[in-house]
Structure 1
Amino acid sequence: MFKNSLWNAAGLVVPSLIALPALAVMARVLGVEKFGVFMLVFSALGFAGVFDGGLVRAVIRAVAMNGGDEQLNGRVVGTAGWVVLALGVGVAAAVAATAAPLVSLLKVSAVARADSIIALRVAALVIPVYLLSLVWFAYLEGKQRFARLSLIKSVTGILLTMLPALAVLARPGLDAALAALLVARLATLAAAYRPCRDAIGAAIFRYDRATARDLFRFGGWIAVSNLLAPMMGYADRFLISNVLGAARVAFYAAPAEVAARLSVIPGAVARTIFPLFSQLQESSAEQARRAFRGLLVVCLAVAVPLFLVADWFLDRWLGPPYGEESAIVLRLLLIGFVFNALGQVPYSRIQALGRSRDTAMLHMIELVPYLLLLVLLVRDFGLAGAAAAWTTRVVIDFVVLQLMARRLAD
């Protein structure tokens, strides 16, 4: 488990290290408002994974449980691929058609409006490409081939951060940045395709109705969680834009991106333990305890030093305005990061045991109270209020997930 977690972390850490200077370049070239819009779009594209119908996680679980039956795995991957491609095209069409009203909702200034609309329509093209690549990567995760997956994600992750930065240096503007992001996503899709094609052959393009029903039986509740969790995760940025203006988003999105990049640590562990828990089922308790202890030590070792030098770090990274405006935001988000990281262990175990309905119900219960808290705190405390609301939610989420996992173990 430890070795596979390191491979997963390597595939995410290397691009994250490149992302810091790349985002700094973009912040300076695009200016505060356009950089804020770019970060909103970038966040939204990460949110696009919710439109997979829960099938990506269902593929990981199915492949882990199928073992070496590549004929069965081929039906799983091929069926899921066609479904997410159809879903992605539909979502992309909806985003492209509503780009103008979406930009108006974000209160972008007249100067940046046209550029933002074009950028959003270009970003829509990324969605089906991104979803299909997730399905093909899911096969490798289910097979626990993390070394190969890490190598692919390291290279493609660097492209995803470097190409937009290089694009704005050559042609400043949001459209250039998003076009470069589309090119990077196409390269990622090609890289994900090859190992799947080599392992399962032409079945990668086959659709099976019975397999689709089986995948949706588990993935349907995953889809609910996938929709609600990112909504709660990204609602803060969009509410800030709507209440405080798009120019203020950058001062929140930058520290939020730091916290998101740090999440490669629990993300690496979660990607390792989910297929492992799916394979072991009820006998996974000891593995869960080991994962929890390891995450606690590593996350505190990373978060505490950064908490202490937050203002200095932001000042050196993005410039004086960010050090002054965003330090309190980063500190609050770092507290939430630790609890959110620890919550990945019970979350993965509950879903690996087939209880995806339980986590979905938890997210449904949390949604409205969190949004109300977010509105109140942003209105009264601005950026710091948004960070405090998010951290409060993930602490509560962690406590409830722990109680649920213990109940299942008993």
Structure 2
Amino acid sequence: MSTHARLQRHVVLNGLGWLLPAALGLAAVPALAGRLGPERFGLLSLTWAAVSAFAILDLGLGRAVSLLVADRGARGRAAEIAPLVSAAGRLSWAFGAPIALLGVLLAPAIATSQLKLPPDLVDEGVRTLRWLALALPLVVHGIVLRAALEGELRFGAVNVFRIPLGVVTWGGPWLAALFTCDVSHLALVIVAGRALYWAGQWLLIARDDARRLASSTAAAQTAEPLAAHAAAVEQAAPTSPYRALWQAGSWITLSGVLTPLLTTLDRLLVPLVAPIATVGWYVAVGDGAMRLWLFPAALGPVLAPALAAAFARADRAESVRLLTRATRATGAILALPALALVMAAEPILRWWLNAAFAPDAVPVFQWFVATVFANCIAQVAYAGLQAGGEARAAARLHLFELPVFLVLLAVAVWKFGAAGAAAAWGARMLIDAAIMTAMGVRRIGLPAGEALRWGAVTLVLLLPLLWELSAPLR
């Protein structure tokens, strides 16, 4: 992890793991929108959104597990890895399983009174919601398992599972729609893919744990008496894995709980006040804009441990170098695609959404793209704060944002529907990005010039939208 070349290889590998399924999703959406019609496509979009939103129940355990696994491996304490991963897995099931049961029981009430489904779609909606509920614990535990692989820098294995999952998530419903338009069947395909993804990771990690146990047993049998006694003493009173998770990741966990919640709250409220067809294009344009997050998603798991090592060595020059390169790479790679999406929003959405296109989707999409771009830049500062022992500052910011955003979002959705939800969501993203970047400049040495440069690019991205909104005043 000390060489930038190796970091770049890991980022490229992660990027391919995210990019290939995303490309399939871009192709599948217009085909499914035309095949299913607005209402059924809206229900399918809600399925995709719900599977993504299940990350809320990860509780930040993924990042904590990744850091702890890397730490234990570096310290030669590999025997502690399996108990840590198992403890995190039990916590994920403890949170996920009761919610899944509740979702199965409440599915009829949600479908009839909350989603405002047409009468002929209610039964499909109930079945779809129940499949999603059953998938929830598997999705959450799968995040923990993936984090364990990332902590050991096994990005090859991570992407061996991630790419087929993306293919099934997007291509599976596309293929199944050739035979049926029943959304519950399409949701079952998505859930089956998640189950296979979880099972594959679990089997791989279980095999590795068995190998570690056999290796440590053989080493103990051949060790000298004094070394064997020391190992026995250490194993006799091991640090509780739950305590280790709390000590290493309490603030990371808090931020990990709040961040997905802040990101997906609009998708939970819009279905309560908007027709299901509006939900379809709203979720779709949000997902389209969030594809910009693919690069930060590839960069973050690689950047965080590299920064942590630099901070641990008190190597300020290296940490600043990493922060500068990561920020420049993020901006340089995403700026032109973001600008193209903003400038050509209408033709892109007409082609992509097909029958689900609505004129109201255009300004919402432009707003989402600009604000997501700003957030992508801020992800470097966010990773740096966590790696540099400043996770508490980021978590406190998210904790402060939550009640303010809840009130703002509720009022905006109630008064202005989907457009209000988009305005509130994007405003929070911009404010969060500005404050997070400022904290990075102040606390961990993020160069202020980089922050100002990419802030100016964000303003450029907002200009077409501001021009359209000012039309009545001109």
Whether TM-score is above 0.5 comes out as yes
Hey, what's the Cα distance between the residues in 1 that align with 2:321 and 2:105? Answer: 50
In structure 1, the residue matched to 2:471 is none
Where 1:67 maps in the other structure, the secondary structure is helix
Listed as ranges, the matches of 1:13-52 within 5 Å are 13-52=19-58
Q: Which runs of 5+ in 2 are unaligned?
A: 1-6, 214-237, 446-474
Counterpart amino acid of residue 199 in structure 2: A
Q: If the length of structure 1 is used for normalisation, what is the TM-score?
A: 0.92
Match of 2:409 among 358, 374, 381: 374
AA matched with 1:21: A
Give the Å deviation of 1:156: 2.2
Tell me which residue corresponds to 2:261. 231
Correspondence for 1:217: 247
* More deviation, 77-86/298-307: 77-86
- The verdict on how the C-alpha distance between 1:397 and 1:23 changes in structure 2, with shifts beyond 3 A counting, is same
What does residue 79 of structure 1 align with? 87
In the TM superposition, residue 152 of structure 1 has moved relative to its aligned partner by 2.6
2: CA distance, partners of 1:131 / 1:375: 27
Match of 1:200 in 2: 209
- Tell me, yes or no, if structure 1 residue 58 matches structure 2 residue 74: no
RMSD (Å), alpha carbons = 2.3
**2:327 counterpart residue number:** 292
Q: 2:176 aligns with which of 140, 152, 167?
A: 167
What pairs with 1:111-122 in structure 2 (closer than 5 Å)?
111-122=120-131
- Work out the CA distance in 2 between the residues paired with 1:98 and 1:399: 40
Change (3 A) 1:378 1:80: closer
Q: CA deviation at 1:238?
A: 2.9
Residue 278 of structure 1 is matched in structure 2 by 308
Deviations 1:171-193 (A, max 9, x none): 22121011111110122113323
Following the alignment from structure 1 to structure 2, what is the Cα–Cα distance between the partners of residues 109 and 302?
A: 38
What is the CA–CA distance in structure 2 between the aligned matches of 1:175 and 1:386, rounded to whole Å? 27
Letter in 2 for 1:280: A
Distance across 2 between alignment mates of 1:36 and 1:276: 41
Alignment of 1:9-408 (within 5 A): 9-68=15-74, 69=76, 70-103=78-111, 104-201=113-210, 210-282=240-312, 283=315, 284-319=319-354, 322=357, 324-408=359-443
- Stretch moving more, 37-46 or 248-257: 37-46
- Larger radius of gyration, structure 1 or 2? 2
Please tell me whether the aligned partners of residues 291 and 345 of structure 1 are also in contact (alpha carbons under 8 angstroms): yes
> Displacement of 1:123 after TM fit?
0.7
Opposite residue 350 of structure 1, the aligned amino acid is: L
How far, CA to CA, are the matches of 2:323 and 2:120 in structure 1? Answer: 52
1:11 to partner: Cα distance: 0.2
The aligned amino acid for 1:71 is: A
Structure 2 Cα separation of the partners of residues 105 and 7 of structure 1: 41
CA drift at 1:323: 5.8
Name the CA distance, whole Å, in 2 between partners of 1:2 and 1:202. 30
Question: Structure 1 residues 201 and 295, CA, compared in 2 at 3 Å: closer, same or farther?
Answer: same
Per-residue deviation, 1:151: 3.1
Bigger Cα displacement from structure 2, 25-34 vs 137-146: 25-34
On the 8 A contact 1:311/1:327 being kept in 2, the answer is: yes
Shift of 1:333: 0.6
Q: Give the aligned residue type for 1:107.
A: K
Distance 1:164 1:316 in 2: 19
In 2: Cα distance, 1:211 partner to 1:320 partner: 52
Q: Secondary structure in 2 aligned to 1:169?
A: coil
- CA deviations on 1:77-101 (whole Å, 9 max, x unpaired) are 2222232233222221121122223
State the secondary structure of the residue aligned to 2:177: helix
Partner SS state of residue 116, structure 2: coil
Task: Give, in whole Å, the separation in 2 of the partners of 1:364 and 1:350.
Answer: 16
- Aligned positions, number: 407
Q: Normalising by the residue count of structure 2, what TM-score does the alignment of the two structures yield?
A: 0.80
SS of equivalent residue, structure 1 residue 263: helix
Whether the 8 Å CA contact 1:4–1:272 is kept in 2: the answer is: yes
Q: Are the equivalent residues in 2 in contact too, given 1:64–1:279 (CA < 8 A)? A: no
8 Å CA contact 2:56–2:257 kept in 1: the answer is: yes
Instruction: Give % identity.
Output: 28
Amino acid of the structure 2 residue aligned with 1:131:
V
C-alpha displacement of 1:311: 0.7
Deviation at 1:265, TM superposition (A): 1.4
Aligned mates of 2:212, 2:50 — CA distance in 1: 32
CA distance in 2, matches of 1:143, 1:13: 22
Mark the CA change 1:209 to 1:108 in structure 2 (over 3 Å): closer, same or farther.
farther
1:240–1:378: 8 Å Cα contact kept in structure 2? yes
Looking at structure 1, the residues matched to 135 and 334 of structure 2 have their Cα atoms a distance apart, in angstroms, of 32
Change in 2 beyond 3 A, CA 1:334/1:33: same
Q: Is the 8 A contact 1:133 1:192 kept in 2?
A: yes
**Structure 1 residues not aligned, in runs of 5+:** none
1:7 and 1:146 in contact (8 A); partners too = yes
Instruction: Give the superposition deviation at 1:211.
Output: 0.7
Do the aligned partners of 2:64 and 2:253 also contact (CA within 8 Å) in 1?
A: no
Shift in Å, 1:122: 0.8
Compute the displacement of 1:320 (Å).
5.8
Kindly state the Cα deviation for residue 267 of structure 1 after the two structures are TM-superposed.
1.1
Query: Following TM superposition, by how much is the alpha carbon of 1:66 offset from its aligned partner in structure 2, in angstroms?
Result: 2.1
